[in-house]
Amino acid sequence: MERGTEFRGRRSLTNISFCWCAASFFAASFLGCGGVVGSAPPQPPPSGVTINLTPASASVLLGEPQTFTAMVSNATNTAVNWSVNGILGGNTTVGTISTSGIYTSPGDLPAPNSVTVQATSAADNSKTATALVTITSDISVSVSPQTMPVELGAARAFTATVNSSGNPDRAVTWIVSGNGCAGAACGTVNSSGTYTAPQVLTAPPNVSLTAISVADPSKSGVGTITITSSFSLTLTGPASVNAGATATYTATLVPAANSSPSPTISWTVSGAGCAGAACGTISSSGVYTAPSLPPSPATVQITASPLADPSKAASVSVAIISIVSVSVSPTAATVALGGAQAFQAIVTGAQDATVTWNVSGVVGGNATLGTILNSQTDPDNTTYTAPQSLPPGGSVTVHASSNANPSISASATVTFTAAINVTLTPASATRAIGHRQTFTVQVNNTPNQNVTWKVNGIAGGNAAAGQICLTGSNPCQQISASNGDSVDYLAPAGVPSPNPVTLTATSQADGSKSASANVTILPHIVVSVLPGNTTLASGGQQQFAASIAGTDNQQVTWNTTGAGCGNPGVCGSINSSGLYVAPSSAPSPNLISIVATSSEDTSQSGTASVTISRGPNISSLAPSSAYAGSAGGFTLEISGSNFIASSPGPGSTIFVTGASRTTSCVSSAACTTSLAAADLQSAGNLAVQVRNPDGTLSNTATFVVLAPGSGPDSIPLTPGAPFAAGKDIVVVELSTNGGSGAAGNVSLNVAAIGTYTVATSSCTLGSSTVVILRPATGTAMADLCVFSMSGLDPSYTYTISGPPVPDITISNREPLGLGIIHLTLQVPATAAAGPRTLFVENPSEDEAAGTGAIEVR
């Protein structure tokens, strides 16, 4: 064994040297000196080499040395080769061992943590000895600082200390973890222990920073980090936005020093009265678009939420300003009087998109301005109906006011045109063959009066149907057109077929407008006499009237004929006007004919029959008419002849519709009874007769019961429409006309009117007009007193003339005695100025009027 291979262990050195010297001594003795020099090569070592390794096991801290001693026996070469886990000399993973047997454990704990140190005999490599080495770790790891707050996105340095009695690898591995995060969401840490917090706050905001020993991964140290959120967020933008408009809101995030929170902002908008798009929308850049219809309540919250820490969201309350607008279409219209026009309103900027329609300020309009519909089911669409007469000013304004904001409205101007119409007078006629009828045409509501004429569809007519002639032309100058005015129709020489013929006048201004008249053609003129049959008492009178159809010449001659009329005057007499006077005694037979002979054509005549009665005769009734529904109770006076006076009796009896009535006959010429309300319940005719005690009956007189009228009617006439058709005036007699004193001083009337002073209860009557002043605003009261010769009662009906919807009303009626009544009037500021008429009506529907008795100023 070379010296260079001797053991370096101090304690083993002496023993080894001793053994080596002894071995040399024993060899020399055995071989002799001569055996050494020049002797044969040495023989192989004797068998039975053994190695003893101490210690047989050891526990070594990481990075620490452990000395092993190998004792080789039975060999001259005591050298050994050292290995760890079969690796000659070992390595850094399992530890290293020097040639002198000093084992140094690895800095990092191997797995498993036991290694085998082996000494192999250099003399006989089949001879080995091993020792088990357990590598132990007393490592502890501490992290400094133990706890630390770290702001979002900020970086902080941490230090890990690996403590050990040995000499382990001092390196550590850093990891970061948390209950509310994973991976980078917990933050990051580099190999040198610098921790960078995440930009978004974790929940919970605590993470653990762990330093794991590289030498012994089972050993680690932990530091606790609290991630803090100290940034500030401010939200700026307008406090109000018009409906449908946009506004920009800015969220400003100011980080804490040396931090870097996430700059991402999310935007939301909400409201108590809305959800979703009804609150408006906001973009990722903070541009808010308000809804076109404000919610209710009209306030929303705009919220900017930082991704870094949503708990630091900032909000601003924004009022949505309702910009209500109303439009009406069409904006202008021209409507024919009595015509209709549709309008539509569109409301924007309000939840309530309905409107209320008015005409010149009057909701729903009225008969003067025209009416407009306010529908419950479709309030935004309406129909305006023009008045029949041109309203004051010639135009009106249709307004649509928003129900959401009545101060917002839109309007349309309506002007009027009277629709063209054609009137033809007369509307019908009867003409004998060869006779003429003058027709007058009027084209209304246009200056163009030109018309075309047709007879049975033939322009100007023809000889078979009749001709249209220039007025007064003789012979007929046939025409088919005229500039309004009049034309003559000449009937044909024979009766046409069909009969009657139709004349048509068509406006040249509007060919769709025309008027027609029917003309009945007679083969000759026809004379008729009215009344056709009558009964007269001796000496009685009857007015007859003759009517001649087919000609304008109504002249007749009158005469009487009869079987008993042999001598002059026996059958009575009739004058040139048709007044017949019965003879003083009835002829025999007592039937007389009244004959009217045409002066134009003496071959044509008409007759009426008169029976000369020996009994009672009715010549007139007073009154002869009343309105249905009247109170009744008034006297009916019957005038005539041959009545039997009630005194001494028995006298004549009056029958009404066949029923006898209580009768008083003061003379042979006058009897009275009364009509009750039951007689006047419904419209119709009441048959009135008088019967004498001998059973003879008079002729029948008719009492007329008319349907109630609708009140005073206005008849509008204008230069463009100077005619009004269908406006006949029906007059019903006063119920007092049958009274014993039936005269003007007892009829219902308005004799005087004046002012009444409530404070002094005084009435100042006069015959002049009473002036009533309108208030500037609101409604004022006016007190009048009215006098009538027949007396006035609170039960009567009192009205003031004016618009169809009355603007002056009577609120109180108070009797003052002596036929005077006190009336209290309510006069609004909007009452129309001008003269007014006071109407008075009693329960019998008698009516009186004080025309122009009141003037409103």
The residues with which 817 forms a beta bridge, in sequence order, are 820
Least confident of 249-253, 588-592, 745-749: 745-749
For residue range 500-519, list pLDDT tens digits in order: 999 999 999 888 899 999 99
Are residues 619 and 608 located together in one domain of the fold? no
Is position 540 within any domain?
Answer: yes
Residue 475 forms part of a structural domain: yes
**Residues 8 and 132 occupy one common structural domain:** yes
Listed residue (46, 49, 85, 90) closest to 70, CA to CA: 49
pLDDT digits (tens, 9 = 90+) for 279-330: 999 999 999 999 988 898 999 999 999 999 999 999 999 999 888 889 999 9
Q: What is the dihedral of CA 115, 121, 126, 128, to 10 degrees?
A: -30
- Interatomic CA distance for residues 490 and 466, integer angstroms: 5
**Do residues 718 and 700 make contact, with C-beta atoms less than 8 angstroms apart?**
no
Residue 795 makes CB contacts below 8 A (sequence gap 6+) with: 842, 843
Structure tokens at 164: 């050990």
pLDDT band at 3 (very low <50, low <70, confident <90, very high): very low
Final residue of a structural domain among 295, 321, 347: 321
**Would you say residue 715 has pLDDT above 90?**
no
pLDDT tens digits along 360-416: 999 999 999 999 999 999 999 999 999 988 888 889 999 999 998 898 999 999 998
Query: Please, which residues have CB within 8 angstroms of residue 68's CB and are 6 or more apart in sequence?
Result: 53, 54, 55, 58, 82, 97, 101, 102, 103, 117, 119, 131
- Residue 567: is it exposed, middle or buried by C-beta count within 10 angstroms (0-12/13-18/19+)? exposed
Cβ burial 90-109 (10 Å sphere, 16+ → b, else e): beeebbbbeeebebbbbbbb
DSSP string, 163-187: E-SS-----EEEEEEBTTB-GGGG-
- Please give the pLDDT value at position 731: 55
Residues 621 and 593 in one domain: no
Nearest to 615 by CA among 564, 562, 653, 647: 653
Of 739, 749, 742, the residue nearest 796 (C-alpha): 749
* Amino acid in position 232: S
Assign 850 a pLDDT band (cuts: 50, 70, 90): confident
Helices and strands counted in the chain (H then E): 1, 77
Specify if 223 maps to a domain: no
Does the pTM of the predicted model rise above 0.75?
no
Question: Same structural domain for residues 565 and 630?
Answer: no
Q: Is the pLDDT of residue 707 over 90?
A: no
> What domain range is 479 assigned to?
421-522
Domain final residue, candidates 402, 417, 432: 417
Using only C-alpha atoms, what is the Rg of the chain? 68
Q: In this model, does residue 660 exceed pLDDT 80?
A: yes
Cβ neighbours of 172 (radius 10 Å): 24
CA nearest neighbour of 99 among 78, 120, 124, 82: 82
Q: Is residue 626 part of a domain?
A: yes
Q: Is 541 in the same domain as 649?
A: no
| Best-predicted range by mean pLDDT (130-139, 479-488, 733-742) | 130-139
Kindly report the average pLDDT of the chain as a whole number.
Answer: 87
Tokens found for residue 171 = 């390196």
Residue 127 falls inside a structural domain: yes
Task: Please name the residues in contact with 323: beta carbons below 8 A apart, sequence gap of 6 or more.
Answer: 242, 243, 244, 348, 349
Three-state secondary structure call for residue 374: coil
Is 280:270 a contact under the CB 8 Å cutoff?
no
Tell me how far apart the alpha carbons of residues 55 and 795 are, in angstroms, rounded to a whole number: 146
Same domain for 339 and 263? no
Q: Which of 43-47, 112-116, 681-685, 698-702 has the highest mean pLDDT?
A: 112-116
| Cis peptide, bond prior to residue 112, ω within 30 of zero | yes
**Residues 238 and 358 occupy one common structural domain:** no
Residue 758 binned pLDDT confidence (cut-offs 50, 70, 90)? confident
Domain boundary pick from 102, 136, 170: 136
Whether residue 509 sits in one domain with residue 444: yes
Q: Examine the domain organization and report whether 190 and 271 are in the same domain.
A: no
- pLDDT at 39 (0 to 100): 47
| Region for residue 724 given its phi and psi (left: phi exceeds 0; alpha: psi -120 to 50; beta: otherwise) | beta
Judgement on whether residues 721 and 635 belong to the same structural domain of the protein: yes
Tokens in use for 31?
Answer: 């071989």
If asked whether residues 176 and 279 sit together in one domain, one would say: no
Q: If DSSP codes are grouped into helix, strand and coil, which group holds residue 680? A: helix
Average pLDDT over residues 666-678: 91
Question: In this structure, is residue 608 part of a structural domain?
Answer: yes
Task: Give the C-alpha distances (Å, rounded to integers) separating 820 from 755, 791, 792.
Answer: 12, 7, 6
Question: ∠ at Cα 577 (573, 580), nearest 5°?
Answer: 30
Q: How far apart are CA 625 and CA 733, in angstroms?
A: 6
**pLDDT (tens digit per residue) in 145-187:** 999 999 999 999 999 999 999 999 999 999 999 999 999 999 9
Bridge-partner residues for 382, per DSSP? 343
CATH code (residue 796): 2.60.40.10
Cα first-last separation, the chain? 156
Q: What is the DSSP letter of 550?
A: B
Q: Same domain for 147 and 174?
A: yes
CA distance 207 to 203: 10
Q: Which residues contact 232 (CB under 8 A, 6 or more apart)?
A: 253, 254, 312
What is the arithmetic mean of pLDDT over 176-204? 96
Question: Is 530:545 a contact under the CB 8 Å cutoff?
Answer: yes
- Predicted confidence band of residue 740 (pLDDT cuts 50, 70, 90): very low
Q: Are 469 and 476 in contact (CB under 8 A)?
A: yes
Count of the separate structural domains present in the chain: 8
31 part of a folded domain: yes
Contact 58, 131 (CB under 8 A): yes
Q: The CATH number of the domain where 22 resides is what? A: 2.60.40.1080
Answer whether residue 490 is part of any domain: yes
**DSSP per-residue letters across 554-568:** --EEEEEE-TT--ST
Q: Under DSSP, is residue 794 helix (H, G, I), strand (E, B) or coil? A: coil
Tokens of 295: 């919610």
565 has pLDDT over 80? yes
pLDDT of residue 438: 96
